[in-house]
Amino acid sequence: MTKPTEDRALAVRAELEKRFAGLALPTRPYIDGRWTDPAGGDTFDRISPRDGRLIARVGAGGARDVDRAVAGARRAFDSGVWSGRPPRERRLVLQRLARLVEEHAEELALIESVDMGKPYTDALAVDLRVTVQSLDFYAEAVDKRYDEVAPTAQDRLATITREPLGVVGAVVPWNFPLMMAAWKIAPALAVGNSVVLKPAEQSPLTALRFAELATEAGVPDGVLNVVPGLGPTAGAALGRHHGVDAVAFTGSGEVGREFLRYAADSNLKEVSLELGGKSPQIVMPDAPDLSVVARAVANGVFFNQGEACSAGSRLLVHRDIEEELLELVLAESRRLVVGDPLDPRTDIGALVEDRHLERVLGYVRGALDEGARLVLGGDRILAGTGGYYVEPTVFDRVDPRSRIAREEVFGPVLSVFSFENTEEAVRLANDTEYGLAAAVWSRDLSTAHRLARSVRAGTVWVNCFDDSDITVPFGGYAQSGLGGRDKSLHALEKYTQLKSTWIRL
Ligand code: NAP
Ligand code: MG
């Protein structure tokens, strides 16, 4: 894609800044169809990572606010005002919500970009587009699914029907804030549940605006509640709540484990977890076109500042083409522009917050200590802006046992490893506690298929990376996930339970 000229870019940025300054940002919990003050009266600051400036003080929901949200959600569920509506009517409401989100896409993308630092152009082209797709997909699906009749004896009729769970808690991270919320909210609402969402403290604003649009679209009061707040208070209250029937979580493995403990210590609510990854890209010597591979490698790890659970953070390359591919990857990486998320020339925006910046830089220092060879980047840049920017960073000759090789950095850092044969490639690829995604590059059909089968991951891309569609499930093997998948019709399984009904004829 050709980049706009400097003049044009600065004009676009100025226009976006002006528009952002004119927005009335939503900053309070949205419970039972209205804005409410948090019971404790606490707030937390939203600092924009693009310049380190305060953009909002957001009401911090706590246990009492979660209580009220869950009570409202339960009331709405039990009343049947949403759960009891014909699926076709829920479809119409969710489609109306999809249209409203579409109409407000630029506003929502702008809020997302300033709140958590991703390029505005990506927020619009990816996050908002996929959010709308999710709403449309589950809305359209829900009045076209049939339940089952079991093949029992002639004098019995046994039906197997799917019922909503009741109150679903959703807890999401900051890297794709609205999109990941929509992956959970859309299927959960489509089948009739009520939802209480706790967005990440770094990115609560779009979810709050979304809740307001849901009311405008006709989602009844109490059916969708958003409680911004901190993980250990609001998040934990939701996880421990006896009135919550299921929690759908995306984030770190550490917090995912907490939700399993919360469930065990309270009411054994259903828990589904979408966790991290350390996704390998395996490049065989007969890869179709190394310049295409190089572009996919650079974009695959640096997209969204590397803050993506599926980021291709490990490049496994055959020794014969290692040097050539690495040169091409470095060239592609140098082409990527790090800068202000509101500048349309920007490919890589700001890391979400100062703590995370320190964490990522800590991994870089650790990798150097562990003997990896730094071949690109490695530093914070544009510090004068007050924002949290890191250069695309590449390490070569990485020890597979080192931390940089094993832990999720969640920043713009690529580790390169080489292998001599297919067995070694598979061993390296699977030498991880994660299993979210992987890519295989080979022109040979059998090699590609064999590798795709051998790699333990929920998604395997062959001769591509990051292809995705709402029709295709997303989620991980091993410690990358538990309890079902996001996206596709399979996600509906997470938000329903089976009822068997026996009728004696
Ligand atoms: P996180 O700490 O797992 O947070 C995810 C969500 O859980 C947030 O809404 C968070 O609230 C909440 N939470 C935190 N502690 C909690 C607790 N004790 N009880 C209940 N809820 C709690 O993830 P993060 O802070 O966003 O990022 C940390 C690391 O997680 C990243 O560096 C990355 O490795 C990984 N991560 C993975 C994904 C993914 O898509 N798989 C996404 C984001 C992050 P607060 O915002 O208030 O903390
Ligand atoms: Mg956190």
Ligand 1 proximity of 362 Cβ (cutoff 6 Å): no
Q: Which residues contact 5 (CB under 8 A, 6 or more apart)?
A: none
Task: Work out the burial of residue 115: count CB atoms within 10 Å of its CB; fewer than 13 is exposed, 13-18 middle, 19 or more buried.
Answer: buried
Question: Phi and psi for 163 in degrees, rounded to 5?
Answer: -115, 150
Cβ(499)–Cβ(160) below 8 Å: yes
Compute the distance between CA of residue 458 and CA of residue 38 in angstroms, rounded to an integer. Answer: 39
Ligand 1 proximity of 169 Cβ (cutoff 6 Å): no
Compute the distance between CA of residue 313 and CA of residue 299 in angstroms, rounded to an integer. Answer: 11
Answer yes or no: 274 catalytic.
Answer: yes
- Which amino acid, 143? D
Measured from the alpha carbon of residue 475, the closest ligand is 1
Tell me the β-bridge partners of 419.
318
User: How many residues comprise the chain?
Assistant: 505
Q: Which residues contact 355 (CB under 8 A, 6 or more apart)?
A: none
Compute the distance between CA of residue 183 and CA of residue 134 in angstroms, rounded to an integer. Answer: 6
Classify 431 as helix, strand or coil: coil
Ligand 1 proximity of 305 Cβ (cutoff 6 Å): no
Catalytic residue among 112, 258, 309, 391: 309
Compute the distance between CA of residue 418 and CA of residue 436 in angstroms, rounded to an integer. Answer: 21
Compute the distance between CA of residue 504 and CA of residue 25 in angstroms, rounded to an integer. Answer: 58
Compute the distance between CA of residue 17 and CA of residue 19 in angstroms, rounded to an integer. Answer: 5
Q: Which residues of the chain have pLDDT under 50?
A: none
The gap from C-alpha 282 to its chain's centroid, in whole angstroms, comes to: 24
Domain ranges of the chain: 7-275, 280-470
Ligand 1 proximity of 352 Cβ (cutoff 6 Å): no
CATH 3.50.50.60 fits 280-470, yes or no: no
Ligand 2 centroid distance, CA of 75 (Å): 30
Compute the distance between CA of residue 178 and CA of residue 167 in angstroms, rounded to an integer. Answer: 20
CATH number for the domain running over 7-275:
3.40.605.10
Cβ(499)–Cβ(163) below 8 Å: yes
Q: Please tell me what DSSP assigns to residue 432.
A: S
Ligand 2 centroid distance, CA of 367 (Å): 23
Catalytic residue among 112, 258, 274, 322: 274
Burial 404-423 (b: 16+ CB within 10 A, else e): bbbbbbbbbbbbbbbbeebe
Q: Which residues contact 193 (CB under 8 A, 6 or more apart)?
A: 77, 83, 164, 165, 166, 167, 168, 245, 495
Burial 263-292 (b: 16+ CB within 10 A, else e): beeeeebbbbbbbbbbbbbbbbbebeebee
Ligand 1 proximity of 227 Cβ (cutoff 6 Å): no
Rounded to the nearest 5 degrees, what angle is found at the Cα of 474, between the Cα atoms of 82 and 211? 35
Among 383, 309, 299, which Cα is nearest to 339's? 383
Tell me the β-bridge partners of 45.
57
Nearest ligand 1 atom to the CA of 238 is 20
List C-alpha distances in Å: 395 to 348, 399, 401, 430, 437: 18, 10, 14, 20, 21
Answer yes or no: 464 catalytic.
Answer: no
Report the pLDDT value the prediction gives residue 1, as an integer from 0 to 100: 64
Output the six-digit token pair for 435. 């299993």
Report the pLDDT value the prediction gives residue 2, as an integer from 0 to 100: 81
- Which amino acid, 474? F
